[in-house]
Every structure is written in C-alpha cells, then in structure tokens.
Structure 1
Amino acid sequence: MPPGFRQFLRFALVGVAGTLAQYGVLFVGADLLGASATWSSALGYLLGSVVNYLLNYYFTFASSKSHLEAASKFYVIAGSGWVINTGLMALFAGYWGWHHWLAQLLVTGLCLLWNFAGSKLWAFRHPATQQ
C-alpha cells in the first residue's frame, strides 16, 4: 500500500473522531433542540476541528513543527473548510430544503478531500519535502 494512501487512511480515521463530534452537535442542535441545521453543523465543525488538529498533529503526520506554525496553517485550512461546510449546508439544507443529514453527509465528503489536501500539502508538510 503506498505511503500516501496509508496517510490518507489515518487522516480519514482521525476525521471520524472529528466527524462524530460535529454530528453530535448537529444532532443535539437540530434534532433535539430544533436549532438551525446550518449553525448546528457550523458549531460542530469548530469542535471537530480541535479534535482533528490534535490527532493529525500527533498521529497522522507525526509533525515536528511548532504548534504555532502547524496550528496556524491547519486553521487556515480548517477555516476555509468551515466556510465550505457552512455555505453548502445553508445551500443544501436551508435554501434547497434537503434533509440536513443527507446534506451533511455530502458536505462531509467534500470537506474531507479539501482538508486532507491542505493538511498534507501545506499545514503539516515536512521541511524536507518543501523544495
């Protein structure tokens, strides 16, 4: 199995933990409390990003960067992913009227690809590969 694929699998596994945090907030917010699915998802994404950063720093990428450098880059990627997540949830669930869980599943897949590419190519990239 190619190293890049193994790394993607670790990233996706870590993403499950962050996704569970996000989906938990979406469930409590939208399904139990009747809050906006868009904003419940957005708040959950923020919580999931903390889980994802810590697990990706130590487990997926075994980063040697300072947390200041790695976290600042990671949160540029995660912040733009948050905009993608929130914007698409507003479009799919809010404007088009899709069920929020269907919308969230599709948006999660798109954000997974975005976040992996940004994390691998920039946020956690090892200095030896930055030529």
Structure 2
Amino acid sequence: MIRFIKFAFIGGAATLLQFFLLGIFVEFFGMVPTLASATSYCSSAIFNYLANYYLTFGSNSSHQKTLPKFIVTVALGMALSTALFSIFHYLLVNYVLVNTFLFSRAYLIAQLFATLLTLIVNFMMHKLWIYRK
C-alpha cells in the first residue's frame, strides 16, 4: 500500500508536469490538443521513470534492464491515454460542453479523465513487470 501511495504521489507530480506542459503547448504554441497531450505525456515520463526507479521501487536493477521495459510501458500508457483523451475530448466538445464556459478548456477535462483511467494500468505494469524483484 505504501508503494502505491508513493507511486501515486510521484505520478501526481508527473501529472502536474504533464498538465503544465499541455497548457503551454496548447495555449502558447497553438498545438492541436491531442498532439499536445501525447507530447506532454512523453515529456513527463522522464521524471516519472527516475523518481519511481529511485524512490518508489528503490530498484537496484540496471537501467539497461529497466529502461526498455519502461519505454514499452510509456508507449502503451501513451497510446491508452491518448486514445482516451481523444474520445473524451471529442465527446466533451461535441456533446457535453457545447456553448458552456468550460468549452475552451475541454482539453484539460479530457486529460483529467484519461489520466485517472490510465493510473491503475501504469501502476500494475510498473509493479509486476518493470521493477519486479
């Protein structure tokens, strides 16, 4: 349970970084929200890997062993998160938030839903595959 709490805390910090970058990419660089979501996910993955390697799982495995597994996990997580983001963003923009004050921030709400659903899958992959002793 403590390991999950650490994982969630580090994931929360990585998620804040992801949301910050998502906002920068969309608001200042004019990126398409789905591309900005995928790019910010990859960017926060570096922090996530290092923090989980050292703090959550206290791994003594070599990066040569854990990093390729992490890259596969990030790729799967990004695919899942991006697919969920696209679905939620489409539904929010076209059906839920039409003509509301939240319409222009639909990408943030979509990212929140996608992130919450991806959390458990990511934890299980970290625990059972990447850092398994």
Which band: TM-score by shorter chain?
0.7 to 0.9
Which range moves more in the overlay, 96-105 or 109-118?
A: 96-105
Contact 1:7 1:61 in 2 (8 A): yes
TM-score, normalised relative to structure 2: 0.85
Structure 1 distance, partners of 2:5, 2:13, is 13
Structure 1 distance, partners of 2:14, 2:29, is 21
Gaps of 5+ in 2: 98-105
The answer for the alignment partner of 1:125 in structure 2 is 132
Residue 50 of structure 1: how far off its partner (Å): 0.5
What amino acid is the match of 2:71? Answer: Y
Contact 1:89 1:103 in 2 (8 A): yes
Structure 2 distance, partners of 1:125, 1:109, is 23
The answer for the alignment partner of 2:65 in structure 1 is 69
Residue 120 of structure 1: how far off its partner (Å): 0.2
Q: When the two structures are aligned, how many residues end up with a matched partner?
A: 121
Pairs within 5 Å for 1:16-95: 16-93=12-89, 95=90
Contact 1:22 1:44 in 2 (8 A): yes
Structure 2 distance, partners of 1:118, 1:48, is 17
Of 111, 123, 128 in structure 2, the residue corresponding to residue 116 of structure 1 is: 123
Structure 2 distance, partners of 1:68, 1:19, is 25
Residue 31 of structure 1: how far off its partner (Å): 2.7
Residue 89 of structure 1: how far off its partner (Å): 1.4
Gaps of 5+ in 1: 127-131
Residue 33 of structure 1: how far off its partner (Å): 3.3
Residue 78 of structure 1: how far off its partner (Å): 1.3
What amino acid is the match of 2:31? Answer: A
Contact 2:49 2:70 in 1 (8 A): yes
